[in-house]
Amino acid sequence: MHSTDTPHTPTPADLGSAAPARPVGRDAVYRNLVCCEECDAVYRRTPLTKGAKAYCANCGATLYKSGRTLSQLLPLVIASLIVFTISNAYPIVKVDLQGNLSDTTLIGAAMAMFHIGREPVGMLVLLTTFVFPLLELLSLLYVCIPVVLFHTRPTGVAYALRLIRVLRIWGMIEVFLIGVLVTLVKLVAIVVVIPGVALWSFAVLTVLLVWVTSVQVTDIWDEVDAIEPE
């Protein structure tokens, strides 16, 4: 079990006394505070032993954890991108368009939705199975490489992390899986699913994405914040 650290809940007086006039000092104070994502309770950070997690005393949600996050995340992100490429490079269905029977990828299947007049479904599939996961993986790669390999902050790291946050609000894994399932179910009348490389690599990708999204954006922020700006 993880050791539980119970942070002290600051009173308004604590926060008031901790608000100096200079912005630099204020940044340092904010960096030392952590807000529970579930119930908005605010805590002062305390150092954790290796592998320990801090939980919210109010609702029990995880606040933050110790340890190097991004060095573990980088290989996962690279593996996900490789599997993502394989998933989208191999045909996943046989589709019958105007008498032409051809093998097609998931993107090809989404395009087929446009041909049969189901544009909203095609757009949903395209966004959830391709655009959103690819954007998140590339944003993570953009943040991870400079931090892990060169110990520098990438330019515009805040925008990249905010983008990842927005993408996660869409519930990446659930939406991704629904997107793949909708494609297969909706198209089942006009296509045959190929139980080949693409289908299995989508299964592997789903597992990898569960791992990738288990790393909280706040933990990535913390590690980026630990690097002094140049």
Residue type, 203: A
Say if CB 191 and CB 95 are below 8 A apart. Answer: yes
Phi, psi (5° rounding) for residue 155?
A: -65, 135
Binding test (CB under 5 A) with Zn ion, winner from 15, 19, 42, 59 = 59
| Residue 56 interacts with Zn ion (CB under 5 A): yes or no | yes
Alpha-carbon distance of 198 to 109, in angstroms, equals 13
Nearer to Zn ion by Cβ, of 55 and 130: the residue is 55
Asked if residue 203 binds Zn ion (CB under 5 A), the reply is no
| Number of neighbouring beta carbons within 10 Å of residue 93 | 24
Which letter, b or e, does each residue of 59-76 get, where b requires 16 or more Cβ atoms within 10 Å of its Cβ? eeebbbbbeebbeebbeb
- Shortest spacing between CB 11 and Zn ion, in angstroms: 17
Task: Decide if residue 9 touches Zn ion (CB under 5 A).
Answer: no
Is residue 63 a contact residue for Zn ion (CB under 5 A)?
no
Work out whether 39 is an interface residue with Zn ion (CB under 5 A).
yes
58 lies in the binding site for Zn ion (CB under 5 A): yes
For residue 38, state whether it binds Zn ion (rule: CB under 5 A).
yes
Are 43 and 36 in contact by the 8 Å Cβ rule? The answer is yes
Among 7, 34, 36, 125, binds Zn ion (CB under 5 A): 36
Tally of CB atoms within 10 A around 166: 12
- Provide, rounded to whole angstroms, the least separation between the CB of residue 42 and Zn ion: 10
Is position 42 an interface residue for Zn ion (rule: CB under 5 A)? no
144 burial type by CB count under 10 A (0-12 exposed, 13-18 middle, 19+ buried) = buried
Select 62 or 105, whichever has its Cβ closest to Zn ion: 62
Task: Assess 85 for contact with Zn ion (CB under 5 A).
Answer: no
Q: Nearer Cβ to Zn ion, position 34 or 125?
A: 34
List contacts with Zn ion (CB under 5 A): 36, 38-39, 41, 56, 58-59, 61
